[in-house]
Amino acid sequence: MKVSKYALPLRLLHWLMALSLLSLIAVGWYMEGLEKSAFKWELYGLHKSFGVLLLALWVLRVLARRSSPVPSSVGILKRWEIGLSHATHSLLYLLMLALPLSGFIMSTIDRELAVFGWVVPTITPQSETLGSVAHTLHGPLAYTMLGLVLLHIAGAVKHRWLDQRHQADVLARML
């Protein structure tokens, strides 16, 4: 079945996750600069809770993506644009999993995690090495995510306002 727009659940998850991801990255950077205080630990708790929520949204998004038809770009975009788009989307999906997962591992390596006040059972193996790797990767993964999001936005802007063909407006598929 040929479609011209993404299904409504995919569009809603796209924008909800975009807002959540960018907010989590901004709050994460803000928290890093704060002195130790009750406010900082409260922000950490919210950051972790919304990170777990993002993991749940990722699962819903993958399920929705696998069960929904998506618009084709063949004949609309150039082959290199389609290739770059597929690579960027694949990396975004990978990072939408890896970034909150690294945070989850850091948060549960030696303690329980409270998600919006509910304690999540610790399922992470008690490994200092795993915790260290997760801690080392979390920040760079956020920078990489932000870079890919900017590339994603640049592509949407290019196709919407710079391409001469109206059908190349891929942003219309997500609105």
Summarize pLDDT for 92-149 with one digit per residue, the tens: 999 999 999 999 998 888 788 899 999 987 777 778 889 899 999 999 999 999 999 9
Mean pLDDT of 157-168: 87
Summarize pLDDT for 2-28 with one digit per residue, the tens: 898 999 999 999 999 999 999 999 999
* Whether the Cβ atoms of residue 58 and residue 17 lie closer than 8 Å to each other: yes
> How many structural domains is the chain composed of?
1
The CATH number given to whatever domain includes residue 20 is 1.20.950
Q: In this structure, is residue 2 part of a structural domain?
A: no
Q: In this structure, is residue 157 part of a structural domain?
A: yes
Q: What is the DSSP string of 47-79?
A: HHHHHHHHHHHHHHHHHHHHHS-----BTTB-H
Q: In this structure, is residue 3 part of a structural domain?
A: no
Task: Give the strand pairing for 118-120 and 113-115.
Answer: antiparallel
Q: In this structure, is residue 63 part of a structural domain?
A: yes
Helices (H) and strands (E) in the chain, counts: 4, 2
Whole-angstrom distance, CA of residue 69 vs CA of residue 4:
10
Residue 33's domain comprises 8-174
Whole-number pLDDT of residue 155? 94
Share of the chain above pLDDT 90, in %: 77
Whole-angstrom distance, CA of residue 174 vs CA of residue 142:
24
